[in-house]
Amino acid sequence: MPNGMQLHGRPRWHLARPSCVETTEPGDCDSSVLNGPRVTFFLRFDSPVRCEIYPYASTILSGSIPGIAQSHAVLTLCWSYILSVRLFEMQGRQVRYSKHRIVPKSRCYGPAIYLDGASPALIRWLCAVLCCETGWMADDRLFPPWAACLATNPELVTTSPAPTKDLAAPSSSEATRLLLELCQLFDLNTDPSGEKLTALPPCRAGFLAALMFPFYRFRTMTPRLPQPDMRPAGNNKNRKAHDRRTVLLYLRDIRYFMSLSIHPPSLGSILWSALWQPDIDCNLVSPWLAWFINVLDHIINGRKLEILVKVLALRRPRVGIWWLALFLLGDLEIIHWFRRYAETLMEKRASATLSAPDPVVSAWTGSKQSFLDYDKTKQYKGLDDLVSREDLLRCRLVFNSQDRYFASLSWRPFGHIAMRNVELELWPYLESDYAFVYDSFAWYQDGKLLHVSRGFRSETGRHVKCVPDDLERRRSETNCHAGCHHDIKLESSRISTLNMLSRAIYDATGGRHWANTALPATSRQHWWLRDWEGLDSWDISIKLNHEADNAAAARPPSRFLLDWIRRQTQDSQANV
């Protein structure tokens, strides 16, 4: 990987065209690879993310899982170093210890990290990683997206003499071995309750939390980690071998985690797909989200984060794990995002939303985020067949594969259009089956192709195949009484409907016209379209009707023009 500030990439989509569609590519008349929109990844920043330390577990989640609270800050900072140095190595940059470090003490009477029995390399590494002044850096003094430091130095205690010579900063693989030594020293991967299916190993919790540092940086959020307080275990010889293999497997596959973690909009699309329902139309988003918040209201008000994560994970397992990672960094302001998103589709005030779906991330994670992630529902043969608007937009996506905005609609469009009113370019795709699937991701630097990645599943052959979502809609066992009134904000449905119309006005060639929506002209007067720029945002209205031109010419002058005429008249009379 070149040593630059940014890295770019483009997804590639494989299109198996219908046999009746002619192509200009010799020898490849039935398939092609289409490029998607360019994605930018920022690789360097001026400062690390600063984490605050609290004397208690700032997230209820950290405090409720045995063993996480006391070691969570340390393990998170260790993984932050490993992720950062791995990027240095991919860029050919060197990491070194800075002049800043924590000086261990021989005794302490408060919370501290006791390192008796640790190797000199581990002690030196922790003195740098946990230092509030950043004890490690690259030669250019710029930091990767995962770089983080603590706001205050924790207490390190050891009776071992300081090494006579300074040690070199470890590589990512060497740091992983030091992390394993740390876990063995404090017996961190042993579940005291024995409930393997419910307990989260502390080392895994630190890894998940470190992956969310770029998201926190992008959202200007402050991680809040519990006060470290660690003492060596009495017997650390019984550490299980599979725990070690799990950590080494994280290092082996770390570049795939980094690709997803480094791009905050990708993480945002994953997080908010937890509330998405594939069979909910755009104009019904508000009642759906209102019901969702009504069910979770007591959980949100009580800040029961562990229960909230379990609810999201039961609904969408591949998505719930990322909410867990987000909560593990401890900013409790996140809990208020749910209600705000349900009412406005915006998770933060005065900030752009990151909830737009990303078909590339959907392919990477195996978790659908949009109606565009599904295949066309049926074939349409006759001119009088009613084409569903969702199938129409799916076909138009083939012609707009590089338009990021076009693919950012998640909720299902409603309504139908007669086949005779659909542009001819789409007829072959509507009349037969075609395939439009994710193929690969091409990485670029300064316009030069660096590498084409087929993705984790294709390149490793490893993935968990059966992770089903529970998206079944269930009816309540009790009905609302006559006087029951639900407070449903219509803004979410209005925004989703406007997003649908903003894409429906396009045809396959990129032209914009209201006729493409197949809606009557009177629909433009609907109050939901108030403040919708629509066609007026780009297009200039051209009046071909002479009567309209005459009517415009006969329009009375504005107040400002009348005032100007009056002043000119008064001045001329005064001069006379």
Q: How far is CA 227 from CA 71, 153, 217, in A?
A: 8, 10, 21
Separation of alpha carbons 291 and 284, rounded Å: 11
Looking up tokens 């003195």 gives 127
pLDDT of 555 reads: 57
Average pLDDT over residues 5-27: 76
- CB distance 257 to 208 below 8 Å: no
Q: Where are the beta strands (DSSP E) in 135-263?
A: 136-138, 148-150, 156-157, 224-226
Q: Are strands 6-16 and 31-35 parallel, antiparallel or unpaired?
A: antiparallel
- For residue range 140-184, what is the model confidence (pLDDT) as tens digits? 889 999 999 999 999 999 988 766 567 899 999 999 999 999 999
CB atoms within 10 A of CB 364: 20
| pTM higher than 0.95 | no
CB 8 within 8 A of CB 109: no
- Residue 106's pLDDT is 86
Report residue 69's pLDDT band, with 50, 70 and 90 as the boundaries: confident
| Residue 67: band (very low, low, confident or very high) from pLDDT cuts 50, 70, 90 | low
Give bridge partners of residue 226 from the DSSP assignment.
54
Among residues 324, 366, 320, the alpha carbon closest in space to that of 207 is found at 324
pLDDT of residue 30: 41
**pLDDT at residue 414 in the model:** 94
Q: Determine what percent of the chain is predicted with pLDDT higher than 70.
A: 84
Q: What is the pLDDT of residues 309-359, one digit of tens each?
A: 999 999 999 999 999 999 999 998 899 999 999 999 999 887 788 999 999
Give the integer Cα–Cα distance in Å for 436 and 394: 9
Q: Tell me the CA distances in angstroms from 83 to 23, 44, 262, 294, 364, one per residue in order.
A: 45, 13, 10, 39, 20
- C-alpha distances in angstroms, 92 versus 44, 50, 136, 169, 446? 14, 26, 16, 15, 17
Instruction: Report the alpha-carbon distance of residue 328 to residue 79 in Å, rounded.
Output: 14
Measured between alpha carbons, how far is 259 from 251 in angstroms, rounded to an integer? 14
The Cα–Cα gap between 314 and 309 comes to 9
- Provide the pLDDT for residue 31: 57
Between the alpha carbon of residue 480 and those of residues 293, 295, 296, 387, the distances in Å are 17, 14, 18, 36
Residue 343 amino acid letter: E
Q: How confident is the model at residue 481 (pLDDT cuts 50, 70, 90)?
A: low
Maximum pairwise Cα distance, the chain: 109
What is the average per-residue pLDDT within 102-114? 89
Q: What pLDDT is stored for residue 542 in this prediction?
A: 38
Q: Which residue has the higher pLDDT, 150 or 470?
A: 150
Average pLDDT, the chain: 85
**Which pair of tokens denotes residue 231?**
């003492």
Q: Which helix H or strand E contains 17, and what residues bound it?
A: none
N-terminal to C-terminal alpha carbon distance within the chain: 80
Residue-level pLDDT at 341: 94
